[in-house]
A = this chain, B = another copy of it.
Amino acid sequence: MTAVIDRLALIGVGLIGGSIARAAREYGAAREIVATARSAETRKRVAELGIADRVVETNAEAARDADLVIVCIPVGASGPVAAEIAGSLKQGAIVSDVGSVKAAVLNDMAPHIPNGVHLIPAHPVAGTENSGPDSGFAELFVNRWCILTPPVGADAAAVEKLGAFWSALGANVEVMTAEHHDMVLAITSHLPHLIAYTIVGTAEEFSTVSRSEVLKFSAGGFRDFTRIAASDPTMWRDVFLHNKDAVLEMLAQFSEDLAKLTRAMRRGDGETLFDHFTRTRAIRRGIVQIGQDSAAPDFGRPHQAKPGAPLPRPYAADDE
């Protein structure tokens, strides 16, 4: 099988960049992988892990003669990085990214991209709560969606090539405008993260309930929020700063809906609560049916088999 991409350059090797590197090699999607990262420590670790063919020191050097450059960094850094690589991009190269916001990335990068180079932003909707090059794995994108947001007038062959690359990594590919992407992600990802970050912080502010109680009794629901509130702070700061308008719009609707449920609770209106809770159950079913979440109860969390038996690894107290 011929690789989809001859030379792949990865700028930034965290959870996503590290997973692309592993997947591209494992599934034969790129012939050669050149990687770089801002910190010397990360570059050293990437070299040790051996997940790239070459690790170089600068963004410009990584991008030189690459057929596909994927920028895997917090979206706030997209503009400056585009400026740094502009001079070493070869004609016909594709420049893409993995950011969770697309209109801002397009705006920030486009002015720096030379004629004859194809800027096609993209967003693989996949991830875990972990960060850094060690947290990546080849299977991360399998059966997940990757959204491409080519600007108006983008080269169709380049869009197709980038789509083929993501398909080779196991992803399903969808194309939409950057603006629409930002609305969709505001509700499916950004607002949920904002809410989770908020409530996990709220839990620490009561004098009547101690932190140790919050941790001990978190299995009642709270712990599910903490997973996404453990995501990379820099990445998420940039998401909220760059998709402000869409998130604020979704937040207004959320606040209205929360007020409606609160009113029902205050008035003892059980019927409104019951009807709402029945409706949301159906949405969960839909997500499981299309394979975007595990059907196993409790996300398939392992349950210890016997009282008093040693804790299985995923529950071991010395983890982390």
Contact = CB atoms under 8 A, between A and B. Distances in A.
A277 B142 contact: no
A289 interface: yes
B287 A218 contact: yes
A39 interface: no
Contacts of A288: 319-320
Interface stretch (A5-13, A151-159, A194-202): A194-202
Interface string A276-320: 111111011111111111111111111111111001001111111
Nearest to A247: B265
Contacts of A214: 184, 187-188, 283
A316 B298 contact: no
B289 A317 contact: yes
A265 to B, nearest CB: 5
Nearest to A193: B221
A308 B205 CA distance: 48
Contact of A304 (B139, B168, B200, B204): B139
A2 interface: no
A219 B195 CA distance: 16
A274 B233 contact: yes
A175 interface: no
Contacts of A90: none
Task: Give the copy number.
Answer: 2
Interface of A: 27, 76, 100, 125-130, 135, 137, 139-140, 142-145, 147, 167-170, 174, 180, 183-185, 187-206, 208-209, 211, 213-231, 233-234, 236-238, 240-241, 244, 247-248, 250-251, 253-254, 257-258, 261-262, 265-266, 268, 270, 273-274, 276-281, 283-308, 311, 314-320
Contacts of A266: 244, 248
Contact of A226 (B217, B237, B284, B291): B284
A143 B180 CA distance: 45
B201 A183 contact: no
Given A187-B202, A299-B301, A223 B287 contact: yes
Nearest to A291: B315
Contact of A274 (B195, B200, B225, B234): B234
A218 B185 CA distance: 9
A199 B199 CA distance: 13
A229 B137 CA distance: 30
A241 B215 contact: no
Given A217-B189, A226-B284, A296 B314 contact: yes
